[in-house]
Amino acid sequence: MGKNKDRFRKLIFQQLEERTGFKGIENHIEEEVVFTPYNWEHDLNIYKGATFSLAHNLPQMMYFRPHNKVKEIDRLWLVGGGTHPGSGLPTIIESARITSSMILEKHAVQGVSV
């Protein structure tokens, strides 16, 4: 349950002070919330705390992510950070646009744009 949380917190403040020159940052904190993969999984139901779904490396980015239309199952469509084009809010919104456009095209819906 976040056994390294305190160690990583300390490391972050250490690096902030070394890289920015600001000293005593912790003394100015009035309120603090720290999320760990454990919190993401158990408090927010995000599988294994993976907030960005797949790994963010070349074999799992852009085209290599699961496609928006699942070929093996006729009416199964995917959208979100774990699908094409990838993670991050702009690309998640683009994923929704791509999937919506594909569904409209498949069902020959006219006069609706996404």
pLDDT of residue 14: 92
pLDDT of residue 69: 93
pLDDT of residue 10: 92
What is the model's pTM?
0.50
pLDDT of residue 1: 53
pLDDT of residue 54: 72
Which amino acid is residue 47, in one-letter code? Y
pLDDT of residue 110: 86
pLDDT of residue 34: 84
pLDDT of residue 71: 92
Across the chain, how many H-helices and E-strands are there? Answer: 3, 0
Ranges in the chain, pLDDT < 70? 1-2, 49, 51
pLDDT of residue 72: 93
Q: State the Cα–Cα distance between residues 78 and 113, nearest whole angstrom.
A: 19
Residue 68, Cβ neighbours under 10 Å: how many? 21
DSSP 69: B
